[in-house]
């Protein structure tokens, strides 16, 4: 004998009703990742350095000569902007980071080459000293101490050179106090009033940067030192609001939060604090974790990548900087 159903005991609202078909799930999806949300983090290398790096599987570091093709291919995939970083050999580094002020050096060659090959590709150029210093720090050091104000003068000169070479957005990632104001003033003084600034306003002293430091050849320079005296403490959230508001007051147009996945709460908090665009950075360690896990059968790389990217958007990021931009763009194209 069948027991009669007690209708009153069953829910009238069954949220799973709207999950039964692919088309319906797509119809009511709240957040989406599109190709134009992706900023490709690309590393340009000196020809004396290898193309690949063990700690970032799948990463290719390109020479200047290889840039026209890869940038054009990326643009054809729908990528509209790149975040540019450079890797040079130790012999070219010094404690004063002199190469960042040489407009014939690798960084400036790369910017000019990219803009010549693909004028519509947006170039977001990193402004920090760490790829160029023999000690691996983002700043000038004297007697073991960060020289904040002396570093600002170098950053301002480099920002102007980058804008002159064709960079569309200057991205100071050094976390020196007052650098946005100094860079904005220098750009305006030299006529680059329309060159935007995307400040790494909340950049945390994170262990997730280690593969990147291999990729740009700074890990050996840094050694056992750290950057805790100028990058943010991972335990602090409200301090990020202070940093962001200071940078906006000094003239930053865009806010970058770095790293990404472990700091989604910061992305959410800042996106609710200000209408200024917020960008999240899926950093090298976050990229490498996916690659190593997938290589060992722990997860599906494509599915996990897209899940991470949607989490950045859900948290409030307008765009995501990622080493996996080409992978994600190809995944999205295959799903069309």
Which positions are catalytic?
Answer: 203, 258
Q: Are 139 and 129 in contact (CB under 8 A)?
A: yes
In the three-class reduction of DSSP (H, G, I as helix; E, B as strand; rest coil), residue 175 is classed as: coil
- Check whether the bond before 259 is cis (ω within 30° of 0): yes
Q: Are 164 and 127 in contact (CB under 8 A)?
A: no
Rounded to 5 degrees, φ, ψ at 209 are -90, -10
Q: Are 133 and 92 in contact (CB under 8 A)?
A: no
How do the residues of the chain divide into helix, strand and coil, expressed in percent and rounded to 5? Answer: 45, 15, 40
H or E segment to which residue 319 belongs: strand 319-322
**Distance of alpha carbon 159 from the chain centroid:** 18
Written as six digits, the tokens of 166 are 């064709």
Q: Are 49 and 61 in contact (CB under 8 A)?
A: yes
Q: Are 246 and 192 in contact (CB under 8 A)?
A: no
């Amino acid at each position: 004998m069948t027991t009669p159903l007690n209708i009153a005991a069953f829910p009238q609202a069954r949220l799973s009703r709207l999950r039964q078909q692919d088309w319906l799930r797509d119809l009511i999806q709240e957040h989406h990742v599109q190709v134009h949300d992706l900023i490709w983090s690309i590393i340009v290398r000196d020809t004396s350095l290898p193309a690949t790096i063990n700690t970032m599987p799948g990463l290719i570091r390109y020479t200047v000569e290889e840039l026209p093709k890869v940038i054009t291919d990326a643009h054809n995939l729908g990528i509209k902007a790149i975040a540019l970083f450079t890797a040079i050999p130790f012999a070219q580094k010094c404690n004063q980071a002199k190469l960042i002020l040489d407009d014939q050096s690798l960084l400036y060659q790369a910017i000019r080459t990219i803009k010549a090959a693909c004028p519509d590709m947006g170039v977001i150029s990193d402004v920090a000293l760490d790829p160029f210093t023999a000690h691996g720090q983002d700043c000038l050091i004297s007697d073991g101490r960060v020289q904040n104000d002396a570093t600002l003068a170098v950053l301002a000169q480099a920002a102007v050179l980058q804008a002159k070479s064709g960079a569309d957005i200057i991205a100071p990632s050094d976390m020196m106090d007052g650098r946005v104001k100094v860079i904005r003033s220098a750009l305006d003084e030299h006529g680059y009033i329309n060159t935007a600034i995307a400040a790494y306003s909340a950049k945390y002293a994170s262990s997730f940067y280690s593969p990147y430091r291999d990729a740009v050849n700074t890990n050996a320079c840094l050694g056992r030192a750290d950057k805790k005296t100028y990058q943010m403490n991972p335990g602090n959230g409200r301090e990020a609001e202070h940093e962001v508001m200071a940078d906006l007051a000094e003239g930053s147009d865009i806010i970058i939060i770095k790293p990404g996945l472990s700091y989604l709460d910061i992305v959410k908090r800042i996106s609710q604090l200000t209408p200024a665009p917020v960008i999240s950075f899926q950093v090298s360690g976050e990229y490498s974790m996916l690659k190593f896990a997938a290589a060992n059968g722990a997860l599906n790389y494509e599915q996990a990548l897209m899940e991470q990217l949607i989490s950045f958007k859900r948290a409030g990021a307008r765009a995501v900087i990622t080493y996996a931009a080409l992978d994600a763009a190809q995944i999205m194209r295959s799903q069309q």
